[in-house]
Structure 1
Amino acid sequence: MNTSDLSPEDIPEEDRRAALMMRNHLPQFIASNPFTRYGAFGVGIGLPTRGGKYEPRLTLRIYVACKIKTDQLPHERRIPKTVQIPDGQGGKIDFPTDVVVAAPPQALMEDPEDRLRPVPGGTSISVPGSGFNGTLGAWVLDTTDDTVVALSNRHVLGGTLGAAVVQPGTQDGGNPAEDRIGFVKRVVPINPAPPNPTPADCDYVDAGIVGADDPDLILLTVLGLGPAIYDTGNAGWLTPVWKSGQTTGVTSGRVIDTDAAFSFPLLLSPGGNTTTILICDNYYFEPAPGTPLPGVVSSGDSGSVLFIEEEDVTLPRATGLVWAQADNWGIACKINRVFEALDLDVLCSSGYPSYLDGLANDVSEPAGPRFTLSERARASAGMVTSGLARSVDKRLRGSTAGAKLSDLVRDFRHPILQGLIGQCDLRRAATRALLPLLGGARTSDDVFGHVMTDEDTTNIARLLDVLDREGHGDLARRLSTIPIAGKEAIGKSVGTLLGIECNAH
């Protein structure tokens, strides 16, 4: 059973419109308690199957562990062929149902992975004593203090803040004395659901973050997939997706259900400590054709980041956080809900500007940019110049030379950010070159009004040398073409060199 012969364009537009109405009605349907009434463990909106193949239309999928013949069920427990929902114009429409036989979700635990330093996404982690192994999904930005943190599941990290996190996980030989990489920084609470749950009892994510002990441990990539997480996106029906987990590695599949809600017992700790939860608005995705067993996800892949699979994309878009499997299928909470619940952002949306804002606030120690060191981190909102870097970038876009510099930073945002975090020589050279332009600046006029000196151009030349030596030759060559990089810039303001008018001269 697969979707290889279908594409999103095959789904009729009228089905899409009806499905959006069903999405609005889904909370009311959950409130009618289909879990008790029909013996279901989940509901969602996705493609139906007939004869082992998907049909290019949309239905209300009702997930059950097994089917019982209709004549053997009391009338009130029979799943209707359609449900009536408001059409948004005062009338009603019939939305079809599809009974899906599947295994109930199981949180993903345990499997081997090697010790890796620095630590990329897709690797084995655990909290010693938990009995669980999971996956470090990827590194992201914690916007509460502008630090780079690792993303995983709450059921992998547990609920004890400050607990040690090791890589590899203890089930793979990791131990706190030698393999600690950080600490449990924050988790989203998982709330037990009552016997008859309603939408008010919904959890939406199983997620938590790890603070790094040392910036040198951070590698802003995901094994087998490339740089992450620099962008996010929403997946739709039949959207191709892939993930990198510590058990099954890189696997791919397609989203079948974009609105799945499940009621089931979740194992929270060794020894059978479970709680029944209702988790809503999740992705349910199938393995790509030919995926060998155990499937698209398996035990130990919890915490993997689900990405949209796209051709010719350097920075893949994250769309979900994997936390469970059902047979050889995968279940992921939506990344936008994870980011909202944990106050997270993509790496360059906040990280690089925070480094520049930190320089303006004279946070100039060469040990590392402030957003990678938790002991030096401060909330961006408390900084005098919070938002200065974004203001500078906005004005750069208004001139040809300025736009060229802004585009350069965007094109090379992954190696720039990784270099600032993990390459001491590059970090020192960048700080030395940028601090005179930004140190003490309170407005973008202060930056563009800075008059270039011989020392400034010398520092920029040193930065170009370090970039080239550290394997960033393409970035160095493009940077050398920016007007502020040559000796001819001496005695001129940054604004004049970049063609940007300002009041400070």
Structure 2
Amino acid sequence: MKRDDLRIAREAKARFGPQLLAHPDVEGVGVGRRRRSGDKTDEYAVVVHLRQKRPESYVSPARLLPKELRFTEKSGRDVAVRVDVQQHAKPVPETGRVRPVPGGVSVGTVGTHVGSGTLGGWVWDTVTRQVVALSNAHVFGSRLGVSIVQPSSDDGGVPPDDRIAAVLRTGSLDAAIAEPADVSIVSASIVQGGPAVFEIAEAALDMRVQKTGRATGLTFGIVDLIDFDSDYRGSHSDLWIDAEGGDFSLGGDSGALYLLASGNAARAAEKRQVVGLHWGGSGQDGVGHHIRAVFDDLKLSTLPRGINAPAVDAAVDPA
């Protein structure tokens, strides 16, 4: 791939982007590497996201997208850039109001000095025998009964309309749980992570993980250290995550869950194993508690087996 090819692709997107985005089926337009059978090639292209990609024979001629974009540069040279059509849903800001509420979205407390953070996901409290929200103690705070709003107040959330839960319990680690205001708002999933939290696993060195956080959205990293000790909140056995391709976390990602990453897009709907709870960062890298330590500390368990619908039935006990 040549730098000049990228420049030309970016110019094509600048010229034709508004026209492509006006197409009724198009959700987004960008510049990237062209894919062939799902694999990236060495050819730059203008990438067009459709809400649903269909064979050409099923699309009326008036709605067909161009296969390439041609234009004349200022130098007088005629150039052409391929159009790569891919199927993707329209992106949704994770700081916005989401109902039912999945993990990976913006949350915060009301009427305290606790800042905004991320709802990691919904888990099972073995003490009160109900579904509860899991995040950091420095996100939810330690005052029992304090309201949790989604999105956070920093992102426009206001009570009582955006109240989703109330702080129930904190532990010795940087972790806390909150009971839902109504079980109907619970979504047994994590944004861009699939169904959760149904399984947990031990983190291992060189394991590839992902997280969805309020600040950075979906990011990936590699478990670089286990048993990491910075004497934080009494934990002497944390996880250090090396960033992969940019910032793994930024302020506001606190509370996100680390999931075992899958390299196969076809497995996106499968139940992912959770391995950690993010609490902080250093440069581009992240640090979090082992999820098993969090579960032991707060007496938590995974969600009941057989729950696949967006809403979790709190009356069902885990087997």
With the length of structure 2 as denominator, give the TM-score of the two structures. Answer: 0.65
> Which residue matches 2:251?
299
The 1-side partners of 2:117 and 2:202 are apart by: 24
Q: Partner residue of 1:317? A: 273
Q: Report if the CA contact (8 A) 1:261-1:278 is conserved.
A: no
What CA distance in whole angstroms lies between the structure 2 residues aligned with 1:420 and 1:279? 31
**Residue number in structure 1 paired with 2:97:** 115
329 and 420 in structure 1: CA distance in 2 versus 1, 3 angstrom threshold: closer
Q: What do residues 179-207 of structure 1 show as CA deviations (whole Å, max 9, x unaligned)?
A: 11110010114xxxxxxxxxxxxxxx310
Q: Work out whether residues 283 and 333 of structure 1, in 8 Å CA contact, stay in contact via their aligned partners in 2.
A: yes
Q: Shift of residue 212 of structure 1?
A: 0.1
The answer as to 2:294 corresponding to 1:338 is: yes
Superposition deviation, residue 157 in structure 1: 1.0
Q: Deviations over 1:106-136 (max 9, x none)?
A: xxxxx97101111110011111133400100
**Structure possessing the higher radius of gyration over alpha carbons:** 1
Matches within 5 A, 1:407-426: 413-415=306-308, 418=310, 421=313
Q: Distance in 1 between matches of 2:286 and 2:206?
A: 14
Q: Indicate which of 181, 189, 192 corresponds to 1:221.
A: 189
Specify the SS of the correspondent of 2:313: helix
Give the CA deviation at 1:145: 2.3
Distance 1:346 1:278 in 2: 24
User: Structure 1 counterpart of 2:258, which letter?
Assistant: L
Partner of 2:213: 245
- How much has 1:236 moved relative to structure 2? 1.2
Aligned residue number for residue 140 of structure 1? 123
Partner of 1:281: 237
AA aligned opposite 1:250? L
Aligned counterparts of 2:213 and 2:223: Cα–Cα separation in 1: 18
1:419 offset after TM fit, Å?
Answer: 5.4
Partner residue, 2:45: none
Once superposed, what is the RMSD of the aligned Cα atoms? Answer: 2.1
Residue 206 of structure 1 is matched in structure 2 by 174
Per-residue CA deviations over 1:2-44 (Å, capped at 9, x if unaligned) read xxxxxxxxxxxxxxxxxxxxxxxxxxxxxxxxxxxxxxxxxxx
Unaligned residue ranges in structure 1 (runs of 5+):
1-110, 190-204, 265-276, 350-412, 432-505
Change (3 A) 1:335 1:157: same
Cα 1:176–1:231 change in 2 (3 A) is same
CA distance in 2, matches of 1:185, 1:147: 11
How many pairs are equivalent?
A: 219
Give me the identity figure in percent. 33
SS for the counterpart of 1:229 is coil
**Mapped contact 2:170–2:298 kept (Cα < 8 A):** yes
TM-score by length of 1: 0.42
Residue type at the aligned position of 1:122: G
Structure 2 residue identity aligned to 1:316: R
**2:192 is matched by which residue type in structure 1?**
G
Matches of 1:172 and 1:415 in 2, distance apart? 29
- Match for 2:274: what amino acid? A
Between Structure 1 and Structure 2, the one with more helix by share is 1
Contact 1:227 1:414 in 2 (8 A): no
Give 1:309 deviation, angstroms: 1.1
- Supply the distance in 2 between the matched residues of 1:237 and 1:308 (Cα, whole angstroms): 12
Q: Which runs of 4+ in 1 moved over 3 A?
A: 418-422
